[in-house]
A and B are shown apart, each in its own frame.
Chain A
Amino acid sequence: MTATFEKIASITVGSGGSANATFSSIPQTYTDLKLVANGRVSQSANQTNPGIAFNGSTSTFTYGFISGTGTGYGYSSGSSNPINDVNAANSTSNLFTNFDIYIPNYANSSNKPFIINSAQENNASNAYVELWGMLWSTGAAITSISLTSGSTWVEGSTFHLYGIKNS
């Protein structure tokens, strides 16, 4: 019997880091996907926005997100492929961003709305809690997901892909 909330694959970034975290050859036998990530990048900043690609494509993404920093809040939107703010090199050491991406109906040929919930902490007055809504307007089944760091995902970053099946 197929489990209904099942780990498909996991990535733990090793020594030296990795530019991307990529899940390829995603089985098409589930209904939804949930990617649970604990990530940090090497870029010289407190936080930065990695990118996302489906099936190797970075185009036809749109986004809107609510952000609370602890000292302010706001909403931004656009037509490109960034995802939530994640801890970068100048933020508190050994601190990684807790985020998850839920993609429903990933295996059908419709456009793909999905949600990201994110918590990027820092031992400072500012940090970033965020709620993202995104849309990938390429009507294709998702067979690969890549999170592109823009620099490197540092050692210890983890990414777990789960399949959720509705029957």
Chain B
Amino acid sequence: MAISRFATSSVAQGLPKYQKLWDGVSIYTPPSFESIATVSVGSGGISSVIFSSIPQTYKHLQIRAKLRGTASDSAGQSWIRFNDVTTEDYVWHGIYATGGGIGQENSTFTAKDGVYSAFRHPSGTATSGMWGSGICDILNYASSTQYKTVKTLSGYDANGSGQVRLYSGFLASTTNPITKIEIKDQSGSNYAQYSHFALYGIRG
């Protein structure tokens, strides 16, 4: 079987494209999508991921995560909390598919002390090496007059099990700007070493 292969290489071989702010020819324009902070989980794991003192100078936030829990279960899910609010003030909804069925959830039936199921991921008894990933968007996070709707696309596949999820939620008790985000496994167990969470700001 003939295979036609066309290969392209990156412009720069692993080097940053812009090594100087001004290359003497033109002015570098930073992108509107900017990295704010990153949490990379080391040996021993961590119990929660915290982004604090979030600059209020962006318009939107995005969290990009790769994660695995350590709870004695094959799969887990994580909640997101804002500004240390832990009371039963979060509302959330979602749709998920396992490959063997489709379902939906909402906060009417379960706990409301975080935006639940924001990320779905393998846990401690899942096949070694399996990881989940997810992208979470929070718009107008610095507004003082609007509730902040969270939108998350996440999932994992463990070669015989898995789940994809599209979930949403918001903190219903306050419209305060978001200055702190905490992400935590709902089981209370640690995230495994090599889990990775990155916070980005999007300029508006």
Contacts and interface: CB of A to CB of B under 8 A. Distances in A.
Task: Tell whether any CB of A sits under 8 Å from a CB of B in the complex.
Answer: yes
Interface of A: 1-7, 10, 36-38, 66-73, 92, 94-100, 117-123, 125-131, 156, 158, 160, 162, 167
A4 B11 CA distance: 14
B6 interface: no
Given A10-B204, A95-B146, A96-B146, A129 B151 contact: yes
B159 interface: no
- Kindly state the interface size class of chain B when it binds its partner: 35 or more
Nearest to A165: B31
Interface of B: 11, 18, 26-33, 59-60, 91-96, 102-106, 108, 137-140, 143, 145-147, 149-151, 153, 166-170, 172, 175, 202-204
23 contacts: A1-B18, A1-B27, A3-B31, A70-B106, A73-B102, A92-B172, A95-B149, A96-B146, A98-B138, A99-B151, A117-B166, A119-B149, A119-B150, A121-B147, A123-B91, A127-B93, A127-B106, A127-B168, A130-B166, A131-B166, A156-B143, A156-B145, A160-B59
B194 to A, nearest CB: 27
Across the A-B interface, give the 5 residue pairs with the lowest CB-CB distance, nearest first: A68-B95, A70-B106, A119-B168, A70-B93, A119-B151
Contacts of B175: 94
Nearest to A100: B137
A129 B143 CA distance: 22
Given A3-B29, A129-B168, A131-B166, A98 B150 contact: yes
Contacts of B169: 121
A82 B134 CA distance: 27
A38 B140 contact: yes
Contacts of B18: 1
A143 B168 CA distance: 32
